[in-house]
RNA sequence: GCGUCGGUGGCGGAGUGGUCAAUCGCAACAGACUGUAAAUCUGUCGCCCUAUGGGCUACGAAGGUUCGAAUCCUUCCCGACGCA
């Protein structure tokens, strides 16, 4: 079976750097698994890896989406699958690196995502309803999905209805057998260090010109409203730029957003027993290398 | 110094005699997750226990009124504002 390395972990845990290091050592190419870094023009605010930091290692699935439009897991999955094939054809090792657990699972667990495109009109109409009303609708359209769905979660309810309307029923949740073998490396920093890194990263992004970046995006037609959903960093910078928040407040909110996100990431990763965890602040690179060598059989 | 208004759980902020361990929001903790996932949603959240129930300590402090107080009275402490 062909082998793929996956590097995941909380924000700022050092995934990108590790990915580059491994890629250089084991002839790899990196596939990003980050739901924000797919967007063009969102560089500083998402701490996207720079060309220099790539050190000649090819990186994929960065800058593949228009920030004005919504990018989805399904698109990601499709693109990632293709990239994996291409990289393997070049006899190189695909290294998936990122912090978006859902994207990683979509690929590594080969999730079958129903091929039903978002229906804007329908969604617009459905959001006006309450969760319980939506649940009733879904129950009628697809009782089996209604059984397992979170009946308070409007986003999911709407999507389920959308699928049910389109296909007549929601396809059974499933995943295809895997055609690849994955080594999952998790990076996890102790809380104190993680907090410090988040703070430093934030400072760097602010000084690095997040505001300028947002202005540039605005000039290209990205409305304020869109920033609210592009991520916590851009959300609060946008509010600050609109003078709806002062600087201190902005920084506090941003830090909190990052920190809470990091915790949520762990909630996701925790339930995957296949992940082999390392603390990058402890000089664990040689252990990781050993693990990779064993996996690749080199 | 006088006057007014206020002091509630980690924070903000309801409650203004019983049904209050105290609405709600935030934070915290735990969790869910199949085309928005940096999103969305759920549970817990004073302490203790033989835990769909029971006990204890709590609403600035100390007293008091009452069958019963976070809620009423007195004094004190602290804060804001007003007058000096």
- CATH code of the region A2-112+176-296: 3.40.50.300
A73 CB and strand B closer than 7 A: yes
**What is the distance in angstroms measured between the alpha-carbon CA of A264 and the sugar C1' of B40?**
12
Window A74-103, strand B contacts by Cβ < 7 Å: 74-75, 99-103
Q: Are A281 and A196 in contact (CB under 8 A)?
A: no
The nucleotide minimizing the C1' distance to residue A109's CA is B34
User: What number is the average pLDDT over the span A79-107?
Assistant: 97
A130 CB and strand B closer than 7 A: no
A282 CB and strand B closer than 7 A: no
Domain limits, chain A: 2-112+176-296, 120-167
Q: Are A27 and A53 in contact (CB under 8 A)?
A: no
User: pTM for this one?
Assistant: 0.91
Q: What is the ipTM of this complex?
A: 0.90
d(CA A94, CA A83): 8
Q: How confident is the model at residue A232 (pLDDT cuts 50, 70, 90)?
A: confident
Give A242-261 pLDDT, tens digit per residue.
Answer: 888 888 889 999 999 999 99
Query: How would you class A230 by CB atoms within 10 Å of its CB: exposed for 0-12, middle for 13-18, buried for 19 or more?
Result: buried
- List all nucleotides in chain B with at least one atom under 7 A from a protein Cβ: 27-42
Q: Which residue matches tokens 């920093």?
A: A189
A269 CB and strand B closer than 7 A: no
Instruction: Quote the mean pLDDT of chain A.
Output: 93
Q: Tell me, what's the pLDDT at A115?
A: 85
- The first and second tokens of residue A165, run together, are 């309307």
- The first and second tokens of residue A36, run together, are 């924000």
The nucleotide minimizing the C1' distance to residue A73's CA is B35
A107 CB and strand B closer than 7 A: no
A229 CB and strand B closer than 7 A: yes
């Amino acid at each position: 079976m062909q082998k793929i390395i996956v590097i995941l972990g909380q924000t700022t845990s050092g995934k990108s750097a590790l990915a580059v290091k491994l890629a250089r050592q084991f002839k790899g190419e990196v596939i990003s698994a980050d739901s924000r870094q797919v967007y063009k023009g969102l560089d500083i605010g998402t701490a996207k890896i720079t060309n220099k930091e790539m050190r000649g290692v090819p990186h994929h699935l960065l800058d593949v989406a228009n920030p004005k439009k919504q990018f989805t897991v399904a698109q990601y999955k499709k693109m990632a699958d293709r990239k994996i094939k291409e990289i393997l054809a070049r006899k190189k090792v695909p290294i998936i690196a990122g912090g978006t657990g859902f994207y990683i699972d979509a690929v590594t667990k080969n999730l079958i995502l129903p091929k039903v495109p978002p229906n804007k009109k329908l969604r617009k109409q459905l959001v006006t309803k309450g969760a319980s009303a939506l649940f009733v609708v879904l129950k009628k359209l697809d009782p089996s999905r209604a059984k397992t769905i979170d009946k308070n979660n409007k986003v999911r309810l709407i999507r389920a209805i959308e699928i049910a309307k389109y296909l007549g029923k929601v396809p059974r949740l499933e995943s295809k057998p895997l055609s690849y073998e994955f080594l999952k490396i998790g990076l996890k920093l102790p809380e104190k260090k993680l907090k410090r890194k988040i703070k430093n990263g934030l400072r760097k992004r602010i000084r690095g010109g997040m505001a300028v970046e947002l202005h540039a995006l605005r000039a290209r037609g990205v409305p304020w409203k869109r920033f609210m959903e592009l991520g916590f960093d851009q959300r609060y910078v946008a509010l600050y730029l609109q003078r709806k928040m002062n600087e201190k407040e902005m920084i506090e909110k941003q830090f909190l957003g990052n920190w809470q996100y990091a915790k949520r990431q762990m909630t996701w990763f925790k339930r995957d027993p296949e992940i082999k965890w390392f603390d990058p602040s402890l000089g664990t690179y040689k252990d990781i290398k050993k693990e990779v060598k064993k996996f690749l059989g080199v």
